[in-house]
Amino acid sequence: MAFEEKWAWVGLIVSITAYAVYLAVVLSRAAGGSLPETPYVDVLLWTIGAAIVMAIVVSIVVGIFTSKEGHETDVRDKQISARAEHTSRGFLIAGALAALIFALLEWDYFWIANVLYLGFLLSAVLEGITKIALYRGGMPAW
Amino acid sequence: MVKPTRVTNSIRSLRFSAGELTQAELAQRVGVTRQTIIAIEQGKYSPSLEVAFQIAHALGMRLDEVFAYPADTHRTDTP
């Protein structure tokens, strides 16, 4: 398995785990009450920070156990990466547009921050899934 | 809309004709990873024209001796 594919797996698992932890903590804090009044900023920052650190640590560990040959990348890796980014960009734009609409409607900061975070997550998840699918199933023509 | 590649190739048999050339050796000559050569051989990836030429040169063949593309519905020549 190419290092890029392993990196896609790591990113996918770490982002989903971080978001699941974030959701669990925020929902437990809300305890059925009003979500916008629930403290969320610290958890959001901690889970994003922890996800970045975890992804770096895991990729270093994976890299140690990957052969030198496995670290090499070429034009196919770049094409797969570009195709995956192209595929997932829609979620990023949708998240940003939703945040813009929420801001125009003067909704609570909670919803603006969370719709952006959800957009980032869905974009990252789709990008990871697309990369893995392209590495495993092959790269179809446009 | 994505569609499967219709490019076929004879790299695997040509590697053996070229003195049992391994996938790793061919990859090194061409300057791509072994995974890319595997993907091309399995028809999971269509290389760029430049890489296709490099593969043909590495095998000592012409491009059309290594790669083929079915000529049917996409032909534009007039009767």
| Cβ neighbours, 10 Å, residue A14 | 22
| Cβ neighbours, 10 Å, residue B76 | 4
Q: Is B5 touching A (CB cutoff 8 A)?
A: yes
What per-residue confidence (pLDDT) applies to A98? Answer: 97
CA atoms within 13 A on the CB side of A37: 5
Which residues are bridge partners to B8 per DSSP? Answer: B68
Cβ A140–B2 below 8 Å, yes or no?
yes
Helical axes A109-137 vs A75-104, angle rounded to 10°: 160
Q: Looking at chain A, which residue has its C-alpha nearest residue B32?
A: A74
What per-residue confidence (pLDDT) applies to B73? Answer: 58
Contact B43, B8 (CB under 8 A): yes
User: How much of chain A, in percent, has pLDDT values that exceed 70?
Assistant: 97
Cβ A77–B33 below 8 Å, yes or no?
yes
Percent helix, strand and coil across chain A, each to the nearest 5: 80, 0, 20
Per-residue pLDDT tens over the stretch B31-59: 999 999 999 999 889 999 999 999 999 99
Which residues are bridge partners to B3 per DSSP? Answer: A141
Say yes or no to pLDDT of B4 above 90.
Answer: no
- Over residues B7-24, the mean pLDDT reads 91
Q: Chain B contacts of A139, Cβ < 8 Å?
A: 5, 39, 44-46
User: How much of chain B, in percent, has pLDDT values that exceed 70?
Assistant: 86
Contact B9, B68 (CB under 8 A): yes
Say yes or no to pLDDT of A67 above 80.
Answer: no
Q: Is B22 touching A (CB cutoff 8 A)?
A: no
Q: Looking at chain B, which residue has its C-alpha nearest residue A80?
A: B45
Q: Which residue has the higher pLDDT, A6 or A106?
A: A106
| Cβ neighbours, 10 Å, residue A53 | 11
- CA-nearest of B33, B26, B29 to B9 is B26
Cβ B44–A74 below 8 Å, yes or no?
no
Say yes or no to pLDDT of A94 above 90.
Answer: yes
CB pairs under 8 A between A and B: 49
pTM of the model: 0.82
Rounded to whole angstroms, the Cα distance separating B35 from A73 reads: 10
Task: Find the CB nearest A138 among B6, B39, B51.
Answer: B39
Task: Find the CB nearest B5 among A74, A76, A141.
Answer: A141
What per-residue confidence (pLDDT) applies to A63? Answer: 82
Write the ipTM.
Answer: 0.76
Q: Chain B contacts of A7, Cβ < 8 Å?
A: none
What per-residue confidence (pLDDT) applies to B3? Answer: 66
Name the pLDDT band for A65 (thresholds 50, 70, 90): confident
Contact B27, B36 (CB under 8 A): yes
